Chain A
Amino acid sequence: MNPALIRVELPAHLRTLAQVGAEVTLRVDGQVTIRSVIDALEASYPALNGTVRDHVTQLRRPFVRFFACGQDLSHESPDAPLPEAVASGAEPLLIVGAIAGG
């Protein structure tokens, strides 16, 4: 099976940091999950290491959210399969900075 090509949309600060546009395309081997997508994101853009999930705990940062297909997937297990539309590349996984702060 060919690795999936996953679309990921990044928040503005992380686009600046990774020097990319709003959306990046990642090649993900195996099951498409939050964990495997972020593994691929960090491997392709090392500047993003530790910015979406904590280096040590590997947990999502509290003010980061994962949306896709109109659903909030932030509280799903990082090892749960992402929706088929994301896995097929039809829909992007949205990494969102929470509305907070000043």
Chain B
Amino acid sequence: MADEKVRVLVGTRKGAFVLTSDAKREKWDISGPHFAGWEIYHLKGSPVDPNRLYASQSTGWFGQLIQRSDDGGKTWAPVNNKFTYDGVPGTHQWYDGTPHPWEFKRVWHLEPSLTDPETVYAGIEDAALFRSSDGGQSWHELSGLRKHGSGPHWQPGAGGMCLHTVILDPSDSGRIFIAISAAGAFRSDDGGETWRPINKGLRSAQIPDPTAEVGHCVHHIAMHPSRPGVLFMQKHWDVMRSDDAGDSWHEVSGNLPTDFGFAIDVHAHEPETLYVVPIKSDSEHYPLDGKLRVYRSRTGGNDWEPLTKGLPQSDCYVNVLRDAMAVDSLDSCGVYFGTTGGQVYASADSGDSWAPIVRDLPAVLSVEVQTLS
């Protein structure tokens, strides 16, 4: 443990920051801003080569770029930024229900392969999944997702029609889970060639048929790698659980004070311990009563306890976005999250106590953690 350290990768509205510490996680070095002035929706490292990082960089002026680092974020180089839909993209539904052409807007999430540092998946807006097998030098759409049948009925959520979650199954190289706002969750069992919706059990009062096969605003999904068939979901409203790889879901919101939220994650060593940050409502994106509380369940949901030590318990009106929570895998699991107010909080004791690593970054869009030895 003495030689282990953690590297926290933070994407913000105005650049990326790399926060590093030893295993005590008390003193932090802060590097950045990288790509100053650009929106960094997400950056993430390869599990097989931790020095290989990928970053999604964009602005409303100059569009989308993808950056790659081969030295753990010290230096970066742009790779290919051309995301062209396969074939004629067709239409999805617009907010008013009319058909709207699929148009590339940005990359929300980059998910490096579990086995090959040259392979990385990109979840984009308008919703589609792309893959690069050459370290980002070229991108190809896995168009079976967009073309599986329900695509013309997908509608954007308030944040756009984004594919924001990509989860690779460590026990089955063919299995991929993704989630789209506001279409729902989907699974492939053949490496991304074919897809099907996995939204049975979700109930969304905001859509005409609350139990429709697609149309649910899934905010995020988390999985513990030791139990890839168990999924936890923060839906627009409702925290959900599946014990059959998404074939069916049941609600585990239990005693949460509000079950609206964005972020959800699972403890590194306890597959039944999960974390959410309840947010007041879909029209008031800040914590209930001005108190920033992480809720932890040690029972796989339903029974939740507030974690408040070290977190502001008055006058706090920040949000925690869907990709802005992560865990490290040190013996005492670290939990991290970033806020739209620019704080990055860390807990080195599974959430019992918290302290800010940094308080005044631009609004945090994403947080990922690498545990390095």
Contact partners of A69 in chain B: CB under 8 A: none
**Which residues on B sit within 8 Å (CB–CB) of A49?**
81-82
- Interface-lining segment among A22-30, A54-62, A73-81: A54-62
Residues from chain B with Cβ under 8 Å of A16 in the complex: 36
Q: Quick one: given A49-B81, A50-B81, A55-B84, are A101 and B61 in contact (CB under 8 Å)?
A: yes
Once the chains are docked, how many angstroms separate the CA of A101 from the CA of B60?
Answer: 8
- List the one stretch of B62-70, B169-177, B316-324 in contact with chain A: B62-70
- Interface size, chain B (Cβ < 8 Å): 16
Pick the contact of A97: B62, B84, B104 (CB < 8 A).
B62
Main secondary structure of the interface of B (DSSP, over half): loop
Report whether B62 and A14 are in contact in the complex, using a CB–CB cutoff of 8 Å.
yes
User: CB of A17 within 8 A of chain B?
Assistant: yes
Contact assessment for A51 and B37 in the assembled complex, using a CB-CB cutoff below 8 Å = no
For the complex, is B59 an interface residue (Cβ under 8 Å from A)?
yes
The answer to whether residues A56 and B61 also contact, given A13-B37, A13-B38, A47-B78 and a CB cut-off of 8 A, is: no
Q: Which residues in window 58-102 of A have CB below 8 A to B?
A: 61, 63-64, 97-98, 100-101
Complex: A97 Cα to B61 Cα, angstroms = 6
A6 within 8 A of partner (CB):
no
Task: Indicate if A52 sits at the interface (CB-CB under 8 A).
Answer: yes
Identify A54's interface contact among B36, B38, B63, B78, CB under 8 A. Answer: B63
Residues of B within 8 A of A56 (CB): 84, 104
Bound Cα distance from A98 to B61, whole angstroms = 8
Once bound together, how far apart are the Cα atoms of A11 and B63, in whole Å?
14
Chain B residue nearest to A57 (CB atoms) is B103
Q: Decide if A63 touches B61 in the complex (CB within 8 Å).
A: yes
The residue of chain B having its C-beta at the shortest distance from the C-beta of A51 within the complex is B62
Within 8 A of A (CB), among B41-71: 59-65
Distance between Cα atoms of A50 and B78 in the complex (Å): 12
Q: How far is the CA of A9 from the CA of B82 in the complex (A)?
A: 24
Contacting residues, chain A, for B38 (C-beta < 8 A): 13
For chain A residues 23-57, which have a beta carbon within 8 Å of chain B? 47, 49-52, 54-56
- How far is it, in angstroms, between the C-alpha of A47 and the C-alpha of B77 when the chains are bound? 9
CA distance A13 to B65 in the complex (A): 12
Are A51 and B65 neighbours in the complex by a CB distance under 8 Å?
Answer: yes
Q: A: which residues have CB within 8 A of B?
A: 11, 13-14, 16-17, 47, 49-52, 54-56, 61, 63-64, 97-98, 100-101
Known: A47-B78, A50-B64, A100-B61. 8 other contacts (CB 8 A): A13-B59, A49-B81, A50-B82, A51-B62, A56-B84, A100-B60, A101-B59, A101-B60
10 of the cross-chain contacts (CB-CB < 8 Å) are A13-B59, A13-B61, A17-B78, A50-B65, A51-B62, A54-B63, A56-B104, A61-B61, A64-B61, A64-B62
Report which B residues bind A (CB closer than 8 A).
Answer: 36-38, 59-65, 78, 81-84, 104
- Closest A-B pairs by Cβ, 5 of them: A51-B62, A63-B61, A47-B78, A97-B61, A55-B82
